[in-house]
Structures are given as C-alpha cells and as structure tokens.
Amino acid sequence: MKHKIQSRGLRSEMSPRALDKWNPAIQAAVENTSETITIYGVIGEDWYGEGVTVKRIDAALRAIGDREVTVYINSPGGDMFEGIAIYNRLREHSQMVTTKVLGMAASAASIVYLAGKKREVASSAFLMIHNCWTFLSGNRHYLRDVSDDMEEFDAAMADLYAETSGQSVEDMAELMDDETFIRGKRAVELGLATGLLAATEVTERETEEVGQANALKAMDTALAKAGMTRSERRELFASFKSGTPRAAGGGTRNAASTDKPSAVAPDLSASLSAATDLLKSLKGK
C-alpha cells in the first residue's frame, strides 16, 4: 500500500490544528544519557527539508547498540510514511523501547509513540489522531483514486491503534474522523498509553532555538492560509537558512539540511523581518 500511494505522488501533511497547538519548549527535564532519543520536531520534512527521519533514528539506535532505549516525544507530526518507517525500526530494536510523550504526539508522531512496549504520557500532554491529510491537484479520476488509497491507509492506522489499545477498530476510526486530541489520563484509559509520566520529568526551556521554532511554525501556518503552496513555503524557509531570504518561487531548491530534528538557523532576525513584509503583501492581495 505504501508503494501504491507514494507512486501517485501523495505526501501526507501535518494537521494545521496540531501545528498551531504544538509547544516546542516542552522537553524532558533530564535526557542526557546514552540510551535516549529525542523527537522534538516534525516527522519527515520540516521547514528546512529534513526533520526527524528513519535515517536519523537508525543511526541513533546503532550508536545505542544492544541496550534498552527511551524515546522522548514532543512533535506536531508530519509525514505518515516516515512515521511508519520509524515505528517499524523501533519495533525491530533488540531491547525494550520505552516511549514518553512530554507535550504532544500528533498524527505521525502518535504512530511512532505506539512502537514502545512501555508507553508513558504526561497528564498534561496529548496524543492526537486523525485521518491522513494531503494537498494535491488533478482531475476527478485521479482525485477519486487517491481518495480510495487514503481510505485504505486510514483503515490501516485504525487497525494499529486498535491492536495496540485493545479498543475496537470502529471506535478508533471514529476518533480519527473527529481529529481527536486525547489527554494523558484518557490515553491510559483507552490503552494507548501504559502509564503516566511524573511531572518532574517534564520541563519547558525557552531558548533562542525554541523561539525561532515558534516563529517558523507561525509563519508556516500564516503562509499556508494565504495560499502559498508547500513547495513554495519550503523554498522560502530554505532561503532563510542560507541567509538570503527571497520571494517564494525563485532561486534554488537545494538547501542544506541537518539531522537535528529541532535545528533552526542560527540567526533568523533578518529573515523574519523579510517574512513579515511578505505576509503583509499577501494579506493586501
């Protein structure tokens, strides 16, 4: 099914609601051990072209070796296909995997979360599950075919939620239809989580990097609402990273990338100013 859907050029997207509610400042209070992996950003492509990928997770697991691993998650989701690949890689790990949601595990990140044999969530945190999102264009035959493919993909996700939680497939599909945010205690009640995190395990770090991530997500949301396509937005953000902001639609699409899921450009002040001017011009159209 994955090959079939991707062969049509379908790319899953983050839910705008999840991106809006995601707080990148929420992190683990202590995470500096050799057996931890942090997922603090977008699954798959982020604003600069590469967020949390199976390649990055695979490298981290190789470095950890034959030991138990803890995965901390605070993510608005992203590419479902990348999320499934990460889920499968974590499930293949030789030792026990514990997943912990600190702030949010939305969409594709909720799939990654299910990979843990032990799955914990902060009482103030949320899982968010929904049907696959995408943006595409084509004639009615193409759109109908893609809709059929997406229905199968959603059914597979409902099966996975149901198998993990012990709930019925029908109940999980209904929650997905409603794009449901599930608080920590409710996640335990449903069987999606195996327990709650202690409040002392979660903190908020208001760093410069977090501030820039907040600015980037706000711009991404605003530009999408203004009608800018995903490819144009990614090109614009790539230009921010290179330090040469420009209007979307021009210049190269080959931007440098990083394996750090929460990495942002070191200084975006000039770029943020340029983006503000761009937003004003878009609103004036």
* Rounded-to-integer distance, Cα 144 and Cα 85, Å: 26
CB 64 within 8 A of CB 35: yes
Active-site positions read 107
**What's the number of CA atoms in the CB half-sphere (13 Å) around residue 98?**
15
Distances in whole angstroms, Cα of residue 21 to Cα of each of 74, 125, 207, 229: 11, 11, 18, 21
In 3-state terms, what secondary structure has residue 118?
strand
Q: Which of 26, 33, 110, 58 is nearest to 259 (CA)?
A: 58
Helix and strand totals (H; E) in the chain: 11, 9
Report the alpha-carbon distance of residue 78 to residue 178 in Å, rounded. 18
